[in-house]
Structure 1
Amino acid sequence: MTTPGTEEPTLTVDELAARAGVTVRTVRFYGTRGLLPPPVIGPRRVGHYGPEHLSRLALIEQLQRHGMTLSAIERYLSQLPPDLSEDDLAIHRALVASWGPDSPEETTREQLDRRAGRELSEEDIDRLASLDALERTDDPDRFRIDPKVLHLGLRLLDVPIELETIRAAHTVVLEYTRSAARDLGRLFRDEVWGPERDHESGSGPERIQAKKSLSAHMQPLVVEALVIAFQRSMKQELRAWYGQDAEGAESAGGAESRESAERTENAERTENAERTENAERTENAERVD
């Protein structure tokens, strides 16, 4: 399994397949097609996979849900930079998933455990439910899952954050995304569509089709713009947060440097005083002689 907080490729092919919800044969087939980078070969010639392999498999799964053939997926992945991180791949998957219809699926507790790579606790299930990644059913061993959110939820299980904090963060995300959607929707209706276009689009089914056609062109642009803007805002916030620690370390380092300089200066003064005193004693002794 992958050690939390590291990027070490520690998953065997069996563990990778279980976590991704595919077969070992599928993993090996994707490798031969170049859809997955080769594993890191460890002792006894055992291949080890990392989080980026798991994220890439999740992206492939999402592309397949959109009806893309393996050849089309190959072309899609070949256009991506080869050194994309796990988080970069997750963002690509989120963008692809946003165009797919909501299609809840049912799964068992055993299947969930395999996807997580360990036995899930009730707290883990609560976390996933708080993120709307799954929903309990009358059968305690069966759940309805949202495949688009489950991968994210499982990644968050290893992050040391309290459940209440996750719920609060989820609420913040929902509130701001809904607010942004309302404001952008209003702008779309008033400015992009406008009364002039509304008048020219006819009526009934023709108008509905025209609106759908225009929104289909606008939606990916809006989502991409939101993702880019949010990424930049988060980077600015994190830099400011890291900067506080850096400034504190710099201040502490400056204080230590000043203390060290003062100690050195005092030592030099003492040494000079001793030299002067010794010189005076020698001079007085010579005079007596």
Structure 2
Amino acid sequence: MEVRLTVDELAARAGVTVRTVRFYGTKGLLPPPVLGARRVGWYGAEHLDRLGLIEELQRQGLTLAAIERYLARLPQGTTPLDLAIHRALVASWTPEVPEEAGREEVERRAGRRLSAEQVDRLAAMGALERTADPEVFRVDPGLLPLGVRILDVPIPLETLVAARAVVVEHSRATARELQRLFRETVWKPYRESEPAPDDVERMKALTDHIRPMVAQSLVTAFQRSLREELGEEQGEASGEESGAELGEAAAEERRAAPPE
């Protein structure tokens, strides 16, 4: 379903202020809205998911300049779903920072009313967690938008639970290994060389350039690997279907052939 939001609705869905939306627009981080009647600006799914990705990258400590470089590296034709996947994966390999929100706020961010079953599905994906108060939830702002998109997809609940466990386990292991690699091969030798204080600050600033590259590399590698895996499965399925069709055609031909 097409998303069509005013700037106030966009800000409410994303959990930010209108001033923040306008600020990102002036910085070129958000594309301009589509102007409608009476010059009212309308925002769509791309704006919502791009805004969510910007907020998630900021939560991970990236500067606006680093976020701008990250967004500039996104390939042409990046869809809103691609942006939602970027945000979810970036959130999954860094420490989670859940936010408490009431049902009304959660539904406002989701852009829809949520049934008990839908809340269970969002919980299975790690997008939110129930609390002692049935009307209050701990929300993962990085996963909620993607979780809402998947709500209507007929995927079994146990599959969602298992899929989230796989992503979280491997993404955290990757993050730990990358941190260890950088610490032991770059940072430690650098500190042992007794650099000047100014040099230390420059090295710390360098991490602002490295982190968005690493994050984007992880997401891109995941998407490429997933496409390859799905492509192989589809190819195998097509081969099996073609083989079955050929076998059926041969059998039909034998049945139609006159007896010798």
Counterparts of 2:92 and 2:106, CA distance in 1: 23
Q: 1:216 — aligned with what?
A: 208
Deviation at 1:246, TM superposition (A): 0.2
Contact 1:35 1:74 in 2 (8 A): no
Q: Return the match for 1:236 from 225, 228, 251.
A: 228
Corresponding residue for residue 246 of structure 1: 238
From 152, 158, 179, the equivalent of 1:185 is 179
Higher Rg: 1
CA contact (8 A) 1:130 1:167 kept: yes
The alpha-carbon deviation at position 263 of structure 1 amounts to: 4.7
Partner residue of 1:170 out of 164, 185, 202: 164
Report the secondary structure of 2:143's partner residue.
Answer: helix
Query: Aligned partners of 1:208 and 1:248: how far apart in 2?
Result: 59
Stretch moving more, 117-126 or 168-177:
117-126
Partner-residue secondary structure (3-state), 1:107: strand
1:143 is aligned to 137
Tell me if the contact between 2:127 and 2:147 (Cα under 8 Å) persists in the aligned partners.
yes
What SS does the aligned partner of 1:244 have?
helix
Match of 1:200 in 2: 193
1:155 aligned to which of 146, 149, 160: 149
> Which of structures 1 and 2 has the larger relative contact order (alpha carbons within 8 angstroms, sep 6+)?
2
Q: 1:207 to 1:144 in 2, by over 3 A?
A: farther
Counterpart amino acid of residue 223 in structure 1? A
1:198/1:207 contact within 8 Å kept = no
Equivalent residue in structure 2 for 1:262, among 243, 254, 258:
254
TM-score, scaled relative to structure 2: 0.68
Q: 1:182 and 1:19, CA in 2 relative to 1: closer, same or farther beyond 3 A?
A: closer
Post-superposition shift, 1:111? 2.6
Q: Give the RMSD, CA atoms, in angstroms.
A: 4.9
Counterpart amino acid of residue 114 in structure 1: R
Paired with 1:138 and 1:88, the residues of 2 have a C-alpha distance of 34
In the other structure, the counterpart of 2:39 is none
In structure 1, runs of 5+ residues without a counterpart are 3-8, 41-47, 274-289
> 1:77-156, aligned counterparts within 5 Å?
83-93=77-87, 104-156=98-150
Measure how far apart 1:96 and its partner are. Answer: 7.5
Check if 1:55 corresponds to 2:49. yes
**For the Cα contact (< 8 Å) 1:201–1:210, is it kept in 2?**
no
Measured against aligned partners, the alpha-carbon deviations of 1:218-241 in whole angstroms (never above 9, x if no partner) come to: 333322222222222212211121
- Displacement of 1:249 in angstroms is 1.2
In structure 1, C-alpha distance between the alignment counterparts of 2:121 and 2:144, rounded to whole Å: 11
8 Å CA contact retained: 1:35, 1:77? no
User: Quick one: distance in 2 between partners of 1:75 and 1:177?
Assistant: 22
Q: Is residue 35 of structure 1 aligned with residue 31 of structure 2?
A: yes
Q: Measure the CA separation in 2 of the matches of 1:178 and 1:100.
A: 7
Q: 1:263 to 1:54 in 2, by over 3 A?
A: farther
Identify which range, 90-99 or 159-168, moves more after superposition. Answer: 90-99
5+ long unaligned stretches in structure 2: 37-41
Q: Separation in 2 of the partners of 1:185 and 1:60?
A: 23
Distance 1:184 1:63 in 2: 18
